[in-house]
Amino acid sequence: MKFPSPVSLSWIANLIHAKVVGDATAQATGINEIHRVETGDLVFVDHPKYYDKCLLSAASFIIINNSEVTIPEGKALLVVDSPFEAYQTITSHFRPFNPSNKSISDSAVIGERTVVMPNTFIGNNVTIGTNCVIYPNVTILDHSVIGNDVVIQSGTVIGGDAFYYNTKKNREVWFKRMNSCGNVVIEDNVEIGSNCTIDRGVSASTIIGKGSILDNLIQIGHDVVIGKNCIIASQVGIAGATVLEDGVTLWGQVGVNKTITIAAGTVALGQSGVTKSTQPNKTYWGTPAIDAREKHKQDVWINRLPELWKKVMG
């Protein structure tokens, strides 16, 4: 999430009651989760296991609960007891919960020749382009951006909260949901079927690339980036922060693991479980998904096992 304008580190420190280690006059431009940070961003870390990952990331400012770490050149720390709660405070300040009181928000911008059918909900600060068709009972939540010539079928929800929790087993409530301050961006010429759910990014954007087509009953997790001209069939689930490059095809009931990259031109056959990043222009099958030709060979041998057993045992 980018701030409306750059904010000094001293101002942020005052907001979250932090000690600044480094240049307090430096300007933060946004706050982001570790897998999407950019120069100028704040990021938080509250476990020693991830200190180095955050300190060596592109983030310029680290909200942390340890002032004794080595600070890379050009970075600064905001030291607090609970970095997670500090993150929540910042996101709540810059993107507070804003309940709606009508079906189509006054702040929504809807382009020419776009058709919005009855019982559709369009939230605050939503932008929809031209020549779109939004079918009945679609929900498009706050800050979503819809391009031109997009079709969204009935029952689909765009921009729900990320399934993303801070976990601590030393407190009464183990799981605390992180505020989702990102959004969903759907590019031009995308078609989305019925009853799909596309979660917004935790602090960045979930993106559906130009010309991609989604069938019915698909779940797209937070911060997923889908490239151009991808095809996703029914009942596919894609976990958070995964990248699909251009021209990927996922057939029915494929499950895709989090934070991996599905290379351009990949095809995953039905009911595959894709657990690792793939190679370009290859077809995968099975769980865990492997090269489809190798999987077929394995199945041939598995089917011959009874015959071979009889021969061995006489």
Evaluate if residue 312 carries a pLDDT over 90. Answer: no
Q: Which residues of 228-242 are buried (b: 16+ CB within 10 A; e: fewer)?
A: bbbebbbbbebbbbb
Task: Give the closest residue to 71 by CA, choosing from 27, 107, 23, 26.
Answer: 23
Residue 309: predicted pLDDT: 81
Residues of the chain with CATH 3.40.1390.10: 2-94
Q: Write out pLDDT tens, residues 244-286.
A: 999 999 999 999 999 999 999 999 999 999 999 999 999 999 9
Mean pLDDT, range 143-162, rounded to an integer: 98
Q: What is the rounded CA–CA span in Å between residue 164 and residue 224?
A: 13
Per-residue DSSP letters for 215-228? -SS-EE-TT-EE-T
Cα 221 to chain centroid distance, Å, stands at: 5
Q: What is the rounded CA–CA span in Å between residue 236 and residue 238?
A: 7
Residue 206: predicted pLDDT: 98
- pTM for the predicted model, two decimal places: 0.92
Evaluate if residue 314 carries a pLDDT over 80. Answer: no
Q: What is the rounded CA–CA span in Å between residue 231 and residue 233?
A: 7
Is 5 exposed, middle or buried, given 0-12, 13-18 or 19+ CB atoms closer than 10 A? exposed
Q: What is the rounded CA–CA span in Å between residue 256 and residue 181?
A: 24
Evaluate if residue 89 carries a pLDDT over 90. Answer: yes
H or E element that contains 213: strand 213-214
Average of per-residue pLDDT values in the chain: 95
Q: What residue has token string 């970075």?
A: 75
- Is the distance from CB of 244 to CB of 260 less than 8 angstroms? no
Q: What is the rounded CA–CA span in Å between residue 225 and residue 238?
A: 10
CATH number of 109-293: 2.160.10.10
Q: What is the rounded CA–CA span in Å between residue 90 and residue 107?
A: 23
Q: What is the rounded CA–CA span in Å between residue 106 and residue 59?
A: 35
Judge whether 93 counts as a catalytic residue: no
Per-residue DSSP letters for 133-150? EE-TT-EE-TT-EE-SS-
Q: What is the rounded CA–CA span in Å between residue 310 and residue 251?
A: 37
Q: Write out pLDDT tens, residues 36-72.
A: 899 999 999 999 999 999 999 999 999 999 988 999 9
Q: Is the CA virtual torsion 57, 58, 63, 68 positive or negative?
A: positive
Residues of the chain with CATH 2.160.10.10: 109-293
- Is the distance from CB of 274 to CB of 262 less than 8 angstroms? yes
Evaluate if residue 26 carries a pLDDT over 80. Answer: yes
CATH number of 2-94: 3.40.1390.10
Mean pLDDT, range 87-95, rounded to an integer: 96
Report the length, in residues, of the chain: 314
Marked catalytic residue, from 47, 93, 222, 296:
222
Residue 67: predicted pLDDT: 87
Evaluate if residue 167 carries a pLDDT over 90. Answer: no
